[in-house]
Structure 1
Amino acid sequence: MSEKINLREAMSIGIGGMVGGGIFAVLGLAVSLAQGGTPVAFLFAGLLALITSYSYVKLSLAYPDRGGTVKFINQGFGKTVFSGGLNNVLWVSYIIMLGLYASAFGSYAPNLFELTADKTLDSHLYSSAIIVLATAINYYSIKVVGEIESYAVIIKLIILLSFVLVGIYGLTDNPNLAQLSFENWESPINLLTGGMVIFVAYEGFELIANSAPDIEDPKKNIPRAYYYSVIFVIFLYIIIAVVTVGSLPFKEIATAEDYVLAEAAKPMLGQIGFSIITVAALISTFSAINASLYGGSRVSYEIAEDDELPHELTNMLWNQPIGLFITAVLTILLVNTLHLESISTAGSIGFLLIFAMVNYSGFKLSNKINANKTIPLAGFTLCLLATIILIIQQYSDNKIGVIVAISIILICFLIELIYKKMESHKLGA
């Protein structure tokens, strides 16, 4: 029998999933979109994650399963072309998140050690190399993946909390603090759009669902694990956004958009602070890549086991699910073809759609899971509305990201439709 997970460990899974590479990857992007209203943009995204966590709590209690989100979607919609398409979108969204984390790693790493005279080339080399390294670690030892994540959670939280404490102290006489004033906020619709583009920074709390069968005293600890971890991360992100916007002028933030958190440490701690935050970013993104590679390969395995993708994906290649290697190859392709903003937009659209459908499952199954219908319905409506607003607003500024996201979603459903028809034809033959 597996050892039970206590509340602290369950919270670590949620916090570690959220405070992975997301905040390092999208903070600069958030400021470019929301300006002085960046803390509000993070609040918008966090509140949506908090509402969605209610559905996850109720579904995790009713259907504790290591399949997590895959299980919830199948419970809500049955094993249909629609649910299969959604689960395919979930797998691809993991790949997009891996691309985001690898892209962030590639943006920070050249600041410590340049490989060539071309920083863009260095970024691609580092991004690709870290995926290869993480794949090798996942192949050789899943236990090592868990150990890396457990240590990384502690290290990155210590460094980020230290950054916050020192940063708040340093804001007292910083003239850039005026940038947070209401006159520097973007319009409410732009703040909401900014929040939705960076929604990927909150992706990760749903990993608690995969551990639900192993959490001790689940009726008490599953709700606490979700709510405490999401609320903690909301406050952490808002304070980080305040410190960043209050420490650097917008022009400098724009210049260092891909590694802005390290740049924000400079006014307080100089080059040492820059280097410390860069190391924290590398540790965080590396651990997030490790965990997401494992999660992505498990999702593909679960989908294939549920007859929503070919059973060949349950096959082992060198003692690991073949989905691990497919996930790694697709991530390398993604990170070398798309810009950070396009990756972030595609990831946010994917997860907003998935969370909308999980909320709908919570609403549809409310009587069975003992849930208040209003909250899942609100979560479904808000996630769907946020997805539509994000697509419309980003289409003018980031057309490629929107086209990629919509194309991926359509392809995921098309693949599922073709697979179901082929399977039906085999059975009828």
Structure 2
Amino acid sequence: MADAYKKDSITLPGAVAMGTGVMIGAGIFALTGQIAELAGPLFPLSFVVGAIVTAFSAYSYIKMSNAYPSAGGIVMILEKAYGPRTVAAGASLLMALSMVINESLVARTFGTYTLRAFGGDADSILVPVLGVGLIVFAYLVNASGTRSVGLVSIVMAVLKVGGIALFGVSALWASGLSFEATGGDEGATGFVASVALSILAFKGFTTITNSGAEITKPHQNVGRAIVLSIAICVVVYLLVAFAVGSSLPLDRIVAAKDYALAEAAQPALGQTGFYLTVALALLATASGLIASVFAVSRMLAMLTDMKMIPHSHFGMPGTIKDHTLVYTVVIAGFLTVFFDLSRIASLGAFFYLVMDIIIHLGVFRYLREEIGARGWVLLTAIVLDAVILAAFAAMKWQSDPLIVVIGLVGMVLVFLFVRVFLARNPVREDAHDDH
């Protein structure tokens, strides 16, 4: 399996670009309006709180990645904490599924913004069609090799971060630095629930963790890349949140929640600004999807190589990594066709937060002394995740109970699936030492 990964093929800038590529692709264009719907006029603050919670969560990943950089970083953390058993395999699959869900979120956002450029309806059947087209494109880029992914990620990250920052500054300047998104109060529960989506907007940093074996000087650069990517996204998210809030009243942001940035660009920057913002959205979502597909396919390959999930070639040639790349884009395409943006985001938040809690518990109970982690930081991360998950589930139970049921059933099925598989195909404790 080691031969399938190219050591030192991703530089520190490439790793940062990969992380910011996934985060900005989903966080700004797909989630800003949904966060505003839950948090009300305080939605820019939701990004700040989300960054704080993410900083506590990132601590476990950074400490573990610095000690044990791996091509399947999250799988490695869970396996070292719990052994090659049901908890590790199930939580790893939850993370992989949350990443695939994120890909479908980004793909539908691409379709929505593309149609807005031509005056199309955001509910059109063309939205999933365009989204699936982008997923196929991401597959082709990934199939061409690791260095292609790194180069595309760097170029697109520079263009979109610069472009989105310019949009934010220009919109704020055009509005006279006023904040129009006032009125309405969703309450404390709504605000806390909105942080679940803000965290989803930052979770792309785990893409870096999953590529540890391919990053140059991984014991230092994995942690540095995570910190830098989160810091860049905090600045970009805040700038854009205030720009949207300065251009549109809250009710219009919520009404246009699937394409809030494009809606905000028109009154602030005119028709030219509108089209430039749509172009930025297409660039951001495309690069985000490419980076995410790259990471999740490798995570699934690691799980397969460690014999913690079943694998079938289905007659396809190539390596396990080639096969998991195909599985990733097929599942993402299915979700893109059958789920809308709001439900995709909710499902991703449920899976990610549960997986995150399991990771922190494992590191706290079994690994904190080995890696020199501070217990109080790990416990704080667990409490924050649990509170936000509870508030988000409560809000969704009131507005869309079906997605809560789907989330619960999905998690039960994942753990039941790996439980049955591992019971029939137990993994030897020493079978994973080379990872």
TM-score normalized by the length of structure 1: 0.90
Determine the structure 2 residue equivalent to 1:285: 285
Determine the structure 2 residue equivalent to 1:57: 62
Tell me, yes or no, if structure 1 residue 328 matches structure 2 residue 333.
no
Determine the structure 2 residue equivalent to 1:101: 106
**How much has 1:316 moved relative to structure 2?**
5.5
Determine the structure 1 residue equivalent to 2:431: none
Determine the structure 2 residue equivalent to 1:416: 418
Residues 247-301 of structure 1: per-residue CA shift (max 9 Å, x gap): 1122322332211111111122111111111111111111111222222221211
**How much has 1:218 moved relative to structure 2?**
5.5
Q: Within 2, Cα distance between the matches of 1:220 and 1:330?
A: 34
Counterpart of 1:25 in 2: which secondary structure?
A: coil
Q: Within 2, Cα distance between the matches of 1:192 and 1:376?
A: 20
Contact 2:169/2:239 (8 A) holds in 1: no
Tell me, yes or no, if structure 1 residue 30 matches structure 2 residue 29.
no
Residues 347-387 of structure 1: per-residue CA shift (max 9 Å, x gap): 01111112222222332211000111110111122212322
Determine the structure 2 residue equivalent to 1:309: 309
Determine the structure 2 residue equivalent to 1:372: 374
One-letter identity of the residue aligned with 1:126: L
Determine the structure 2 residue equivalent to 1:257: 257
Q: Within 1, Cα distance between the matches of 2:369 and 2:426?
A: 33
Report which stretch shifted further, 269-278 or 388-397. 388-397
* Aligned-pair Cα RMSD in Å: 2.5
Flag the 1:315–1:230 CA change in 2: closer, same or farther, 3 A. Answer: farther
**How much has 1:185 moved relative to structure 2?**
4.3
Residues 374-408 of structure 1: per-residue CA shift (max 9 Å, x gap): 10111122212322221122111122322222222
Q: Within 2, Cα distance between the matches of 1:149 and 1:28?
A: 26
Q: Within 2, Cα distance between the matches of 1:152 and 1:94?
A: 20
**How much has 1:5 moved relative to structure 2?**
5.6
Percent identity, aligned pairs only, is 25
Tell me, yes or no, if structure 1 residue 40 matches structure 2 residue 45.
yes
Counterpart of 1:152 (choices 138, 156, 172) is 156
Flag the 1:78–1:105 CA change in 2: closer, same or farther, 3 A. Answer: same
Q: Within 1, Cα distance between the matches of 2:17 and 2:121?
A: 39
Contact 2:360/2:379 (8 A) holds in 1: yes
Determine the structure 1 residue equivalent to 2:430: none
Counterpart of 2:135 in 1: which secondary structure?
A: helix
Aligned residues: 420
Counterpart of 1:359 in 2: which secondary structure?
A: helix
Contact 2:7/2:216 (8 A) holds in 1: no
Output aligned runs, 1:320-399, within 5 Å: 321-364=322-365, 365-399=367-401
Report which stretch shifted further, 87-96 or 15-24. 15-24
Determine the structure 1 residue equivalent to 2:196: 196
**How much has 1:119 moved relative to structure 2?**
5.2
Counterpart of 1:78 (choices 79, 83, 93) is 83
Report which stretch shifted further, 305-314 or 337-346. 305-314
Counterpart of 1:120 in 2: which secondary structure?
A: coil
Determine the structure 2 residue equivalent to 1:243: 243
Output aligned runs, 1:90-129, within 5 Å: 90-113=95-118, 120-129=124-133
Residues 192-223 of structure 1: per-residue CA shift (max 9 Å, x gap): 10111342211111222234345556565444
Flag the 1:330–1:241 CA change in 2: closer, same or farther, 3 A. Answer: same
Counterpart of 1:241 in 2: which secondary structure?
A: helix
Counterpart of 1:371 in 2: which secondary structure?
A: coil
Residues 127-175 of structure 1: per-residue CA shift (max 9 Å, x gap): 122222322333344443332222110111011110121122123265x
Flag the 1:122–1:195 CA change in 2: closer, same or farther, 3 A. Answer: same
Q: Within 1, Cα distance between the matches of 2:315 and 2:59?
A: 35
Q: Within 2, Cα distance between the matches of 1:341 and 1:165?
A: 28
- Tell me, which stretches of 5 or more residues in structure 2 are unaligned? 1-5, 428-435
Determine the structure 1 residue equivalent to 2:433: none
Report which stretch shifted further, 402-411 or 207-216. 207-216
Q: Within 2, Cα distance between the matches of 1:117 and 1:46?
A: 33
Counterpart of 2:175 in 1: which secondary structure?
A: helix
Residues 276-335 of structure 1: per-residue CA shift (max 9 Å, x gap): 111111111111112222222212111111111114369964566222222222222211
Report which stretch shifted further, 411-420 or 397-406. 397-406
Q: Within 1, Cα distance between the matches of 2:226 and 2:146?
A: 24
One-letter identity of the residue aligned with 1:172: G
Contact 1:41/1:195 (8 A) holds in 2: yes
TM-score normalized by the length of structure 2: 0.89
Tell me, yes or no, if structure 1 residue 406 matches structure 2 residue 408.
yes
- Tell me, which stretches of 5 or more residues in structure 1 are unaligned? none
